């Protein structure tokens, strides 16, 4: 190659290098601007769910009005509702109390023609809750706490009225209510029976989530656990008759071993996949090491 050609070739390389460098700089600047633009969107997306719930609460005038009232008896229900299981389920004030949540005018908000009820009658609370919790109500009405017990204790006596909590065995032992009629030994039996019925279901569902995180299908486990839970809810929940609950739990305990076997099989699959994964990694490292040693042994070209 002549000197002139070589110089031209070098100039061309420098031009292409300069062009590539300029392109890279422009590309980096573009990516930086894009990142700055997308970062707020990412932050916004992380808070979307909570913001949506907050906006829903903010646009409900029952919530926004009562939250600012100085009378604690009127404002406390909002704070309790915000901590309840009803809030994420979009159960708002008007769903239980009626009224018009679209206005800030008290007379319009508390319009009886819109079924506003400030304090629901204790004798019909179960009907109100039963609009969503049909099975529990169907079991409760003929129970000793229903017709026979003059609807006491009712739903809010155990589950609270505004700070509604997830069902749990400890609700069975509420001193202010249960001890008026029941000895502690009876309550202990109910709690133990509830634990026998529900704790395995919780265990199966928790195990299924852990197994699914490892990439093993758990649809069968979850389906069986759901069937067991539904059977308990339908036949034992809110029955309040120990003998009937014993029969239900005994029948469920005949099913639990098969679900437990499914869980163990899935866990074995997880362990097998992990062992094969480590084996593959080990083989890969061995092969990579052999190739590296082989290339090191080759004479320099």
Domain range summary for the chain, segments of one domain joined by +: 3-46, 170-301
Distance CA 127, CA 141 (A): 9
Phi, then psi, of 299 in degrees rounded to 5: -70, 150
3 state DSSP class of 23: helix
Report the chain (301 residues): mean pLDDT per 10 consecutive residues: 45 42 42 47 45 57 91 91 90 92 91 90 91 92 86 86 75 68 84 88 93 93 93 89 91 95 95 92 92 86 59
- The answer to whether the predicted template modeling score (pTM) of the entire model surpasses 0.75 is no
Supply the pLDDT for residue 160.
84
Supply the pLDDT for residue 42.
45
Distance CA 87, CA 105 (A): 24
Supply the pLDDT for residue 154.
87
Distance CA 129, CA 148 (A): 19
3 state DSSP class of 143: coil
**Which residues, 6 or more positions from 163, have their beta carbon under 8 angstroms from its beta carbon?**
80, 81, 83, 84
Distance CA 141, CA 143 (A): 6
Supply the pLDDT for residue 53.
46
Distance CA 104, CA 61 (A): 6
CA dist list (Å): 210 to 195, 232, 253, 276, 281: 22, 24, 23, 19, 23
Q: Are the beta carbons of 41 and 73 closer than 8 angstroms?
A: no
Supply the pLDDT for residue 168.
63
Distance CA 196, CA 193 (A): 5
User: Which of 60, 58, 57, 56 has its CA nearest to residue 101?
Assistant: 60
Domain formed by 170-301, architecture: Up-down Bundle (1.20)
Which pLDDT tens digit goes with each residue over 256-268?
999 999 999 999 9
Residue 2 Cα to chain centre, angstroms: 75
- Using CA of residue 85, residue 91, residue 94, residue 100, what is the dihedral sign? positive
Q: How many CA atoms lie within 13 A of 151 on its CB side?
A: 14
Supply the pLDDT for residue 76.
93
User: Which of 216, 230, 188, 235 has its CA nearest to residue 277?
Assistant: 216
Distance CA 236, CA 105 (A): 45
């Amino acid at each position: 190659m002549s000197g002139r050609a070589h110089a031209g070739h070098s100039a061309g390389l420098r031009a292409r290098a300069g062009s590539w460098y300029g392109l890279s700089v422009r590309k980096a600047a573009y990516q930086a601007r894009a990142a700055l633009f997308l970062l707020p969107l990412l932050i916004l997306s992380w808070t979307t769910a909570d913001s949506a719930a907050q906006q829903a609460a903010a646009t409900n005038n029952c919530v926004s009005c009562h939250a600012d009232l100085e009378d604690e008896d009127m404002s406390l229900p909002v704070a309790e509702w915000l901590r309840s299981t009803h809030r994420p389920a979009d159960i708002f004030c008007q769903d239980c109390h009626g009224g018009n949540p679209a206005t800030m005018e008290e007379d319009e908000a508390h319009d009886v023609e819109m079924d506003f009820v400030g304090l629901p009658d204790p004798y019909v609370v179960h009907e109100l809750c039963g609009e969503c919790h049909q099975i529990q109500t169907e079991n409760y009405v003929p129970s000793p706490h229903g017709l026979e017990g003059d609807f006491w204790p009712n739903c809010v006596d155990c589950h609270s009225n505004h700070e509604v909590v997830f069902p749990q065995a400890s609700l069975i032992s509420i001193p202010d209510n249960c001890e008026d009629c029941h000895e502690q030994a009876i309550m202990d039996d109910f709690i133990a029976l509830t634990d026998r019925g529900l704790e395995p279901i919780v265990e199966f569902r928790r195990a299924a989530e852990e197994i699914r995180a490892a990439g093993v299908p758990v649809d069968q486990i979850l389906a069986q656990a759901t069937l067991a839970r539904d059977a308990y809810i339908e036949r034992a929940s809110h029955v309040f008759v120990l003998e009937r609950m014993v029969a239900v739990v005994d029948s469920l305990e005949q099913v639990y071993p098969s679900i437990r076997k499914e869980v163990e099989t899935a866990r074995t699959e997880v362990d097998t996949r992990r062992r094969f994964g480590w084996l593959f990694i080990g083989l890969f490292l061995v092969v990579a090491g052999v190739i590296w040693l082989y290339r090191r042994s080759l004479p320099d070209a």
